Amino acid sequence: MDIALGKEDLTFAEQMRSFFQTEIPAEIRLKGERGEHWGREEYVTTQQILNAHGLAVPHWPAAWGGQDWSALQRHIWAEEMALAHVPPPLAFNAAMVGPVIATFGSEEQKRRFLPPTANLDIWWCQGFSEPNAGSDLASLTTRAVRDGDEYVVNGQKTWTTLAQWADWIFCLVRTDPEAKKQQGISFLLIDMKSPGLTVRPIRLIDGGYEVNEVFFDDVRVPADQLVGEENHGWDYAKFLLGNERTGVAGTGIIKARIMRLRKVAAETTSHGRPLLEDPLFLARLTRLEVETTALTMSVMRVLANEAKHPGTPDPVSSVLKLRGSELQQEATELLVDVLGPSALPYREAHSIPDGFASLPDGAIDAMPTYFNWRKASIYSGSSEVQRSIIARAILKF
């Protein structure tokens, strides 16, 4: 397969690049370029700009804001966005609950939820994992019992990312405890302001507050907020996770980090010469670039296969997820090695400690980012799970 972009695709990439560089506020992009974390308002501002131009949810049905783009065009859109250091559309909205509602929701649910979901007027979070149900998600125990026109929900979710900012949560709940564990699960939409719902933060090793525990104590949920059919939630969850893994290789993210690595290395000296001239550093950087190019080629092959066989799941996506997460982590590791002691200060201290008066751009967030991206080998299915899928579905072990 020829993985080079054709003339039309190159033109499309240039259009995306120009849009991101001119329409998204420079201060938001600069923050991303420096490796700093975006806040809630920066995500909202960016997604609303994208949505106003029809670029927030291109993979959705056209009736709800989508574009009639090819899989390759969606890949180019995502990669150019990352290379321009633009906050991506919130994954919980754009890649997860939105497609589920668009595909399985009632017409009333589509009218009620899809426009504000695309525009980030509603911020969603994901209520899947539980203390004893992570990779083995089907073991979840949060219960929803039908009571007239409502469900009464009791239980706990954990590792709920950005629940402190969320307006709504989409949850997997057990509605038939007697059925086989995958067959008794339903998919509910729950207002985060519901009485009996409590959010408790989990402080992470990087010092940040990104994930939470969410507790449900007799939370009453209108029955019309059930998506699809009762006890069919596992099917919708599999559909959601398939969408989540579509772009999980993160080639644009890795390439943006390589750009940052080169910039920091150009400003750093080793034994009296620029680090970019150090053969040991160049060997590590070149290996990372070559591996990223190889991953990009694999992504292109998967996209070509998707174009030939639309709607057919490709187990090779597990290879993309596995290798992509590894390279994302390698890029953060190399940046920390380049920065050395300059990577140690934490932004939470609100000031730069003595001896760190002159830091390279973004150094203050380097170590928290390194710690935070340990998660890459867990989200969207852990590396161990991906290796099992590869063994069964590709290698036929």
DSSP string, 75-127: HHHHHHHHHTTPPPPPHIIIIIIHHHHHHHS-HHHHHHHHHHHHTTSS-EEEE
Tokens of 33: 């370029």
The catalytic residue positions are: 244
Give dist(CA 208, CA 368) in Å, integer: 8
Tokens of 16: 């995306």
Give dist(CA 87, CA 281) in Å, integer: 29
- The angle, 0 to 180 degrees and rounded to 10, between the axes of the packed helices 26-33 and 40-52 is 120
Provide the greatest CA pair distance for the chain: 75
Cβ-based neighbour number of residue 86 at 10 Å:
25
387 to 224, 244, 256, 345: CA distances (angstroms): 39, 18, 27, 36
Nearest to 285, CA basis, from 334, 337, 336: 334
